[in-house]
Amino acid sequence: MGFLETPDDDADEQVGRLFDADREALGYVANYTRVFALRPAVYSAWQQLNAAVKEGMDARIYELVTLAAARRLRSSYCSLAHGKVLRDRFYDAGAVEAIATDPHNAGLDPADMAIMDFAERVAADATAITEADIDELRRHGLTDADIFQVVLATSARCFFSTVLDAVGTEPDAQFRTAIEPELQQALTVGRDIAAADDQP
């Protein structure tokens, strides 16, 4: 699952609550939750931050931004998770595969494509962003508050994805059955999905 020894279910009450919440929501304990169980207070703070970032942001745009950032960071875990959300809520599997592999030819409207390009550039090197990049988003109808939301979503993804990959956290084995093989391949941009027999 990863490079670190993570707590067992009975480590303490706080860890037990984290794991029980996953079992209720997902039917299993996610590998990212097992890692963050080393510091439950940090995980709680992340959940609050992420909820605040998403609040008031169009859900589809949030997912496109997150996918763009995750792919640039080579985070298979986040790419798979948010690619699945896009497939479940907004597009079919073929469309998400196209967005993941060749977004400029995936039929996205120009504003969506500009937002994804911007998110990818922020994730790659925020110091390279210029005022012209901001003006380009304004030309596509984004307000300054909208642009800041994109920056916040991208930057939050940099934190979460980097933490998981730095400690070798593999995407949950459940992705092997939850996502079509072709889409799995398109969304696996870094670490491989955990083997089914490796899932605790």
Identify whether 141 is part of a domain: yes
Identify whether 1 is part of a domain: no
Return the CATH number at 194: 1.20.1290.10
Total count of domains within the chain? 1
Tens of pLDDT along the chain (200 residues)?
A: 799 999 988 778 899 999 999 999 999 999 999 999 999 999 999 999 999 999 989 999 999 999 999 999 999 999 999 999 999 999 999 999 999 999 999 999 999 999 999 999 999 999 999 999 999 999 999 999 999 999 999 999 999 999 999 999 999 999 999 999 999 999 999 999 999 865 55
Domain with 157 in it: 50-198
Cβ neighbours, 10 Å, residue 149 = 22
Alpha carbon distances (Å) from 36 to 61, 72, 75, 98, 155 = 26, 23, 17, 32, 19
Identify whether 26 is part of a domain: no
Identify whether 38 is part of a domain: no
Identify whether 28 is part of a domain: no
Identify whether 93 is part of a domain: yes
Q: What is the pLDDT of residue 64?
A: 98
Identify whether 68 is part of a domain: yes
Identify whether 159 is part of a domain: yes
